[in-house]
Structure 1
Amino acid sequence: MQQRLKRAGVATAALLLLLLVMTGANTWRQWAGLTVAPDTPAERRAQLEPFWRVRPPALGAPETGGAVVLSGCDGVHDNMDFWAGRLAGRGYRTLILDSHGPRGLDRFEAWRLVCAGQALPGAERAGDLAVALADPALPPGGRVVLGASHGGWATMEFLRLAVTGEVSPALRDWPAPPAQLLRDLEAVILLYPYCGLLNGADAGDWTGAPPILMVLAAEDRIVSTPDCESMAARLRERGARVAVEVLPDADHGFDQQDRATFSALRFDAGLRDRAAAAIDAFLSAAK
């Protein structure tokens, strides 16, 4: 009996060690920017387009350009519709970019791998954003990007890739010249983005990047607000124009009503309204 228990314990320990090694190796792969089988821009668009939704400008609002919104690591939820509606109200034809559905990350809570940094790192997802921004579904004119949480990380990685000219590790080439994509961008909004160790945005010359607004949660339990404040300061040293708005008493995902079971995070309509007011003022000034 003792021998069987001992063998079972050894097997369990070996399995745990294997899982730790696999997790560590995968985390290193994400950090190093290594992915497999990069797509052409056309191939990536063919994967994404059936899953994205385009919201036209609100009735009576003159069309002023295009926008792309990117969700957090748990996929597209009600907050993306809310922000798309706000942008549509300002005249933007807004594309809600779903990076999860095309990869099957919306099934069996596979999105948790994204939240843990084990799947779809920011630099890889930045390729999705590049393809969306170059797509004819968006009209000519100024472009706006709004990324929440993981979507904010992907947006920052997109900007870093664009200012350096590097290609997303998930793409074989840019879908349009990166300098042109930058020129078309008039504003970027980052809602409680991930700014930790795996975020590689702190590189290159950001003087050609668009104005950026970070809306951070003072009591964020998921990502580090101080990390984002430090990131903003470092990017300013690189020439970026970054404004930071920290919402007191706010926690991560305060704008999202739809939650996973047992989530401790809570929707707060008042905080969402405060964020919306800050974003409206920022967009008006960026025009």
Structure 2
Amino acid sequence: MYILGVQPYTKFTGCPLSPLLFNLSIEPLAAALRMDPRIRGITRGNTIHKCSLYADDLLLYITDPEASIPLALDLIGSFGRLSRYRLNLAKSTLFPVNSLAKEANYSAFQFRLEHSSSTDLGIQITDTYQDLFKQNFTPLLEKTKSDLARWSVLPISLAGRVNTIKMVVLPRFMYLFQMIPLFLPKTFFTQLDGLISSYIWDKKVPRIRKSLLQCSKSEGAANIVKLSTWMRANVISNFSFLSQSNFTVASAIMVYVKYETKDFGEGFLCLKKCLHNTHS
């Protein structure tokens, strides 16, 4: 609809073009944030990270917050006056990560201040690397245990239980594997496999080995994904951004092999050393 030759700002509700148009319209803001030298981002290797976009979610990475935040807000405000894009400060959070950032004064900003962790797209971002597992994977494991206990009393067939795992449980963990590339301990997968097996077989003795259930449908099996393999694949795939650095494919394979041979500690130290060489 056009009135006096002026194009409306929005499409009708449910229009499939709406998210695509929004993605196109938000890119100039991201480009302006990245190109402004006064807004200081986080440097890793040869790359300066300033912002990440996903749908209408905007995540800023800022150093020198007392100087950079007002500049970023002013730029976002200028963009909003042209596009009617508004930043909801009441729902926005500010999460200082290191000790220097936590000592800064944020009383002039309307953001909700987070201290030990912050949630973004369902992921708990913690101020320490060691807490990522405890804040993300442990709660999901407990939720899965609770859900499977409730569903186990329902009259669901064997095929229905397998499909429940494939359509509901597995995507939850795959999302975390993709968003948080961590090498998880094998005790985690042992516990998860036990929950899945108990649910599929209705707390009875399994009649088919787990390895057979994980075979493809062309082989007459259920094609249940092996989560530990998915975890390792996602972790190694995230190393592609280090392709021009000291971290090589051979290093990734070394980490994988050491993990497979149950030498998890040595594999983790190898990974840590490679990442340290990359960022130094």
Larger fraction in helix: 2
Do both proteins adopt the same fold according to a TM-score greater than 0.5, normalized to the shorter chain? no
TM-score by length of 2: 0.26
Larger fraction in strand: 1
Larger radius of gyration: 2
Structure with the larger RCO, 1 or 2 (CA within 8 Å, 6+ apart): 1
